[in-house]
Structure 1
Amino acid sequence: MGMPTASATFTTSDFEVTDFVPDVTTALPTGHLRMRKVYTGEVAGRSVTQFTSAFDQASGVGTYVALESFEGAVEGRTGCFNFVHAASTSGQDRADEYGLIVRGSGTGALVGISGTVSLTIDDEGAHHMTFDYAIPDDAPRRAE
């Protein structure tokens, strides 16, 4: 039997570009920013996202890595946890996608959560996150 799957749509706001510039120069410009997200659906809540990229705006080529600190509910179970996701693009696609829930990061009724995450963007530009997750049988059903 597979893991439960929960999905959400999210919106982003409060972009804060940091002034971090590495002392190594590559062929792609690098950057770091923080943003806030609001999730609605089977996963509902908010996150603070640390977003790092090596990306060329002109060609659309690059890779990003995002670490999110999420607070909210997964199918009614409330708590917090971290998850990470990354992908590359040639300017026309998404490739080399990676995403997982950070083990040991769950709190409240999400203690022990583990699994994977994937991001998709539909034809209208809406961003969707899907969580394939497991929570141990002995985890609390409600946040304490």
Structure 2
Amino acid sequence: MRATGTFDVKSFIPTEVTPEPAITTGLPVGLAKLEKQYEGEITGRSATLFTSAFDQGSGVGTYVAMESFEGALNGRAGAFNFVHSAATDGTDRTDVFFSIVAGSGTGELAGITGTGDLTIDADGTHRIRFDYELP
């Protein structure tokens, strides 16, 4: 099955975390907490832990995000976790990974598995897609 939608980032809160031991690399590492709101065949909200190694000036970096989603896919309600990551050289999005966390589904989404993708249109519209299966 497939569900598509759009989302808005309702909050993006950088969070101070200092890794131990402190190691200096060529890109600064950061952590943020996000809240997202979804519309379309995907409705609901998510809480996200977002980690990145990114250079604002050049646009080069990589992120890894773990999201806890609560809402509905194609009208089936519940909650689940999903993880996604990607890299950029400043112009292209590469090394894309997206996976629904096995065993994390609840309610009508219990047993959900699958993949998906996130994209951002030229006008700034954020899009999400889940390609999923339910028992």
Check whether TM > 0.5: yes
Q: Secondary structure at the match of 2:4?
A: strand
Residue 21 of structure 1 contacts residue 31 of structure 1 at CA under 8 Å; is this kept in 2?
A: no
Q: Distance in 2 between matches of 1:125 and 1:20?
A: 29
Q: 2:15 aligns with which of 18, 21, 45?
A: 18
Structure 2 distance, partners of 1:80, 1:59, is 37
* TM-score, scaled relative to structure 2: 0.96
Contact 1:28 1:56 in 2 (8 A): yes
The equivalent residue for 1:78 is 77
Pick the structure with more strand per residue.
2
Q: Is the 8 A contact 1:70 1:81 kept in 2?
A: yes
Shift of 1:14: 2.1
What are the within-5 Å matches in structure 2 for residues 57-136 of structure 1? 57-136=56-135
Letter in 1 for 2:2: T
**3-state SS, counterpart of residue 108 of structure 2:** helix
The structural deviation recorded for 1:123 is 1.8
Q: Percent identity?
A: 57
| Secondary structure of the corresponding residue to residue 109 of structure 1 | helix
Scaled by the length of structure 1, the TM-score of the pair is 0.90
Count of residue pairs brought into register by the alignment: 133
RMSD (Å), alpha carbons:
0.7
**2: CA distance between counterparts of 1:35 and 1:55?**
17
Deviation at 1:21, TM superposition (A): 2.3
SS at match of 1:6: strand
Q: Distance between the aligned counterparts of 1:42 and 1:130, measured in 2? A: 9
Q: Which moved more, 1:18-27 or 1:62-71?
A: 18-27
Q: Please list every run of at least 4 consecutive aligned residues from structure 1 whose deviation after the TM superposition is greater than 2 angstroms.
A: none
User: For residue 5 of structure 2, what is the aligned residue in structure 1?
Assistant: 8
Long gaps (5+) in structure 1: 137-144
Q: Note the residue ranges of structure 2 that are not aligned, 5 or more in a row.
A: none
**SS at 2:58 equivalent:** coil
**Residues 1:34 and 2:28 are matched in the alignment:** no
